[in-house]
Amino acid sequence: MSIKVTNVYTRPSTAVNFHVSNVPDSHIQHVLETYKNPGKVVDVTTDLSDDGLTLTIVWIWVDQASVNEYDADPVIVAFKESSAEYNQSNGITRTTTSEEVA
């Protein structure tokens, strides 16, 4: 079964950048080379609400093992910690849900 992971970020105003706008190229390359190109990530979509305050990012993973690998990856862990600190400092909330999809 594929796994759908949905991250919803809500910022207090459009004057506050989402942390994803600060993603270093080296992090993007790591995700591409380690997860996207080998087929562990099937799809990633983003949607910004009409008012610009809510960003939804949906990841479709090939299986739970790939999600677990990603979550344990030291590069990803460091980025998530940095993101959480940035979000807390800037009043951004994040909710994450995960579900099996056919």
CATH assignment, 2-101? 3.30.70.100
Give pTM, 2 decimals: 0.92
Q: Note the pLDDT tens digit of each residue in 52-81.
A: 999 999 999 999 999 999 999 999 999 999
φ/ψ of 22, rounded to 5, equals -110, 20
**Is residue 85 exposed (0-12), middle (13-18) or buried (19+ Cβ within 10 Å)?**
exposed
**One-letter amino acid for residue 66 of the chain:** S
List beta partners, residue 64. Answer: none
Number of residues assigned to the chain: 102
First to last CA, the chain: 6
> What residue spans define the domains of the chain?
2-101
pLDDT class for 22, splitting at 50, 70, 90? confident
* Closest to 90 (Cα-Cα) out of 13, 27, 24, 21: 13
Tell me what pLDDT residue 13 has. Answer: 98
Average pLDDT, the chain: 96
